[in-house]
């Protein structure tokens, strides 16, 4: 590591706002929060900052095309084919692919990577256990076919297209078995070491990580993805949004991530900085607990509430570009997503619906995270519902308090957000349109909404192999939920970022992992 880079890292780790030097020409400096980072092991990392690093550090067998995420492109696999039983896939690995260590990518690495996720049984493991895998059977479901082929089998009633979606998720990143094994501690499959190091084939590798301070990634010039354009990516922990803004304005950072609407608006017409609003797969919605009162359980109230959500006012006036209006449970960009927005803010129509249903003097408590934008949205809803004579009492609390109340069903309503766990329509359909009898913690379950027919339709959709048919099934589900459900989905979020205007080649998709630094030049 060059002394200049060490010096930069040390300078960036200070909290002082003293003058910084311009960023080095071979280093991309990113200002964001790293405080959520728990682990850079893809078998555990499920928080925003670590997930955003995985496309830099690792590759999967196949991955979403950044410009069209529905299309899955070969990555470490050159091709694949479905087995005759509709319960297996055979992958052919790319010739000559190597990890950053220099070790070749082998079928054994694929087997090791997928099986260790299941065996470690950490937070994102549920993505792969949907295939019917567990610690006892996973080894038998993954087999080496030849020196460059690996077969993946499953027992769950799901289609190959769904399995391909799961294998494109960050948790399915391919880890260098030999490198991980060399750092095993008490049979942990290299997990402790991989919390702060990397063993992948991505365009970068972790050079240094200081928790809550800095992540330094250096180029892997022999990556199968090709050598990155810049030698280093330095991600600096900057918890304060205003400080991130200042750093990018001054030229002391090349990218400032996760800005608020106020900071984003302040960048208009600022020289040297380009503000970018990237649509992301995060939906903001009202959820009613149908078990809390007869009113909350009344479909007429749900319908009226759809006309009391001030969609445009919140998206455009209140939060100024941080959201777009969106009323269905699949975000724009997903297979089967709908752009239907049949509801507009109309207090008079809401009044008529309530009157026809005999609902008078309606009131409810709205629990909400006391942080923006949740509290901002809740306050706007309090005012918009009041226009129809509906009294909304806000009960703000910290995130853990709100989560506990929802989990224990001790609430009337809440305004919150939901983002998919992986890039497949089932991730959201299984949340909004499914409530299995086994005590699932889906959003429908949180609402106390019993929907055996929709649950069966959702299960059927995940087993459909034809993507056109799958898309049609999810569109039907969305229209049913949109017409009558204890949710009012209102907004799809945008991630607000700022780039120095000399940057070229930055790519970012709608899911958290879809951040690509390897083509950036400046």
Q: What are 233-275's pLDDT values in tens digits?
A: 999 999 999 999 999 999 999 999 999 888 898 888 899 999 9
Percent with pLDDT over 70 in the chain: 95
Both 509 and 460 in one domain: the answer is no
- Mapped onto helix, strand or coil, the DSSP state of residue 82 is strand
The backbone torsions φ and ψ at residue 399, rounded to the nearest 5 degrees and listed phi first, read -55, -45
Both 220 and 342 in one domain: the answer is no
Both 292 and 224 in one domain: the answer is no
Residue 27 lies in a domain: yes
Residues 127-145 have a mean pLDDT of 97
Both 387 and 430 in one domain: the answer is yes
Q: What pLDDT score does 67 carry?
A: 83
Instruction: CATH number of the domain at 475, please.
Output: 3.10.105.10
Both 344 and 404 in one domain: the answer is yes
Residue 199 lies in a domain: yes
Q: What pLDDT score does 321 carry?
A: 83
**Which of the two residues, 196 and 437, has the higher pLDDT score?**
196
Q: Is the pLDDT of residue 276 over 80?
A: yes
Cα–Cα distance list, 229 to 98, 164, 205 (Å): 19, 29, 14
Q: Is the pLDDT of residue 31 over 90?
A: yes
Alpha helices (H) along 121-159? 126-129, 138-141
Q: What are 298-324's pLDDT values in tens digits?
A: 999 999 999 999 999 999 999 988 999
Please provide the DSSP assignment of 177-190 as one string: HHHHHTT-STT-TT
Residue 147 lies in a domain: yes
The backbone torsions φ and ψ at residue 137, rounded to the nearest 5 degrees and listed phi first, read -110, -10
Q: What pLDDT score does 17 carry?
A: 36
Instruction: CATH number of the domain at 182, please.
Output: 3.40.190.10
Q: Is the pLDDT of residue 453 over 90?
A: yes
The backbone torsions φ and ψ at residue 413, rounded to the nearest 5 degrees and listed phi first, read -155, 160
Both 311 and 440 in one domain: the answer is yes
Q: What pLDDT score does 84 carry?
A: 84
Both 170 and 77 in one domain: the answer is yes
Both 115 and 139 in one domain: the answer is yes
3-state helix, strand, coil in the chain (%, to 5): 30, 25, 45
Q: Is the pLDDT of residue 154 over 90?
A: yes
Number of domains in the chain: 2
Both 389 and 511 in one domain: the answer is no
- Mapped onto helix, strand or coil, the DSSP state of residue 139 is helix
Q: What pLDDT score does 1 carry?
A: 42
Q: Is the pLDDT of residue 77 over 70?
A: yes
Both 285 and 191 in one domain: the answer is no
Q: What pLDDT score does 438 carry?
A: 65
Residues 110-137 have a mean pLDDT of 97
Q: Is the pLDDT of residue 178 over 90?
A: yes
Average pLDDT, the chain: 94
Residue 271 lies in a domain: no
Residues 84-91 have a mean pLDDT of 93
Both 205 and 286 in one domain: the answer is no
Q: Is the pLDDT of residue 7 over 80?
A: no
Q: Is the pLDDT of residue 488 over 70?
A: yes
Q: What are 319-374's pLDDT values in tens digits?
A: 988 999 999 999 999 999 999 999 999 999 999 999 999 999 999 999 999 998 99
Residue 304 lies in a domain: yes
Cα–Cα distance list, 238 to 36, 56, 241, 315, 496 (Å): 12, 20, 7, 27, 15
In which band, very low, low, confident or very high, does the pLDDT at 16 lie, cut at 50, 70 and 90?
Answer: very low
Q: What pLDDT score does 497 carry?
A: 96
Query: Which DSSP letter does residue 317 get?
Result: I
Cα–Cα distance list, 230 to 87, 127, 218, 222, 503 (Å): 42, 33, 9, 14, 11
Percent with pLDDT over 90 in the chain: 90
Residue 342 lies in a domain: yes
Both 448 and 352 in one domain: the answer is yes
Residue 259 lies in a domain: no
Q: What pLDDT score does 9 carry?
A: 53
pTM confidence score? 0.91
Range of the domain at 82: 3-236+503-516
Residue 70 lies in a domain: yes
């Amino acid at each position: 590591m060059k002394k200049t880079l060490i010096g930069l890292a040390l300078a960036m780790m200070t909290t002082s706002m003293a003058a910084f030097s311009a960023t080095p020409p071979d280093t991309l400096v990113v200002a964001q929060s790293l405080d959520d980072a728990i682990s850079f092991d893809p078998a555990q990392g499920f928080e925003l900052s670590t997930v955003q690093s995985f496309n830099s550090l690792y590759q999967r067998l196949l991955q979403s095309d950044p410009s069209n995420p529905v299309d899955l492109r070969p990555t470490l696999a050159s091709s694949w084919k479905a087995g005759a039983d509709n319960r297996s896939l055979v992958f052919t690995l790319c010739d000559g692919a190597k990890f950053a260590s220099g070790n070749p990518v082998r079928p054994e690495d694929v087997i090791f990577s997928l099986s260790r996720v299941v065996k470690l049984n950490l937070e994102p493991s549920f993505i792969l256990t949907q295939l019917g895998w567990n610690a006892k059977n996973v080894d038998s479901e993954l087999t080496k076919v030849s020196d460059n082929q690996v077969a993946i089998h499953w027992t769950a009633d799901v289609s190959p297209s769904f399995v391909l979606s799961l294998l494109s998720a960050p948790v399915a990143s391919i880890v260098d078995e030999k490198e991980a094994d060399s750092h095993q501690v008490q049979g942990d499959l290299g997990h402790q070491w991989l919390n702060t190091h990397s063993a992948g084939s991505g365009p970068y590798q972790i050079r240094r990580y200081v928790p809550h301070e800095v992540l330094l990634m250096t180029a892997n010039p022999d990556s199968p993805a090709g050598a990155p354009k810049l030698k280093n990516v330095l991600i600096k922990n900057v918890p304060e949004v205003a400080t991130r803004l200042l750093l990018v304005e001054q030229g002391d950072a090349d990218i400032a991530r996760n800005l608020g609407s106020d900071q984003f608006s302040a960048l208009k017409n600022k020289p040297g900085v380009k503000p970018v609003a990237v649509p992301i797969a995060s939906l903001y919605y009202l959820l009613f607990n149908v078990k809390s009162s007869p009113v909350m359980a009344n479909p007429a109230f749900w319908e009226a509430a759809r006309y009391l959500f001030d969609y445009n006012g919140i998206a455009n006036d209140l939060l100024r570009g941080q959201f777009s209006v969106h009323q269905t449970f699949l975000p724009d960009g997903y297979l089967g997503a709908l752009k239907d927005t049949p509801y507009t803010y109309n207090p008079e129509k809401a009044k008529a619906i309530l009157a026809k249903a005999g609902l008078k003097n309606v009131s409810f408590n709205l629990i909400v995270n006391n942080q923006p934008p949740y509290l901002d949205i809740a306050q706007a809803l309090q005012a918009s519902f009041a226009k129809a004579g509906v009294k909304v009492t806000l009960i703000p609390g910290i995130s853990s308090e709100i989560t506990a109340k929802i989990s224990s069903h001790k609430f009337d309503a809440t305004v919150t957000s939901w983002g998919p766990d992986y890039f497949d329509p089932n991730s959201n359909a299984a949340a909004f349109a499914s409530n299995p009898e086994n005590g699932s913690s889906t959003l429908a379950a949180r609402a106390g909404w019993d929907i055996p027919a929709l649950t069966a339709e959702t299960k059927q959709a995940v087993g459909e192999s034809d993507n056109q048919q799958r898309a049609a099934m999810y569109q039907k589900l969305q229209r049913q939920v949109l017409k009558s459900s204890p949710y009012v989905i209102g907004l799809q979020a945008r991630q607000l970022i700022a780039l120095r205007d000399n940057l070229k080649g930055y790519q970012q998709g709608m899911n958290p992992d879809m951040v690509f630094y390897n083509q950036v030049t400046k």
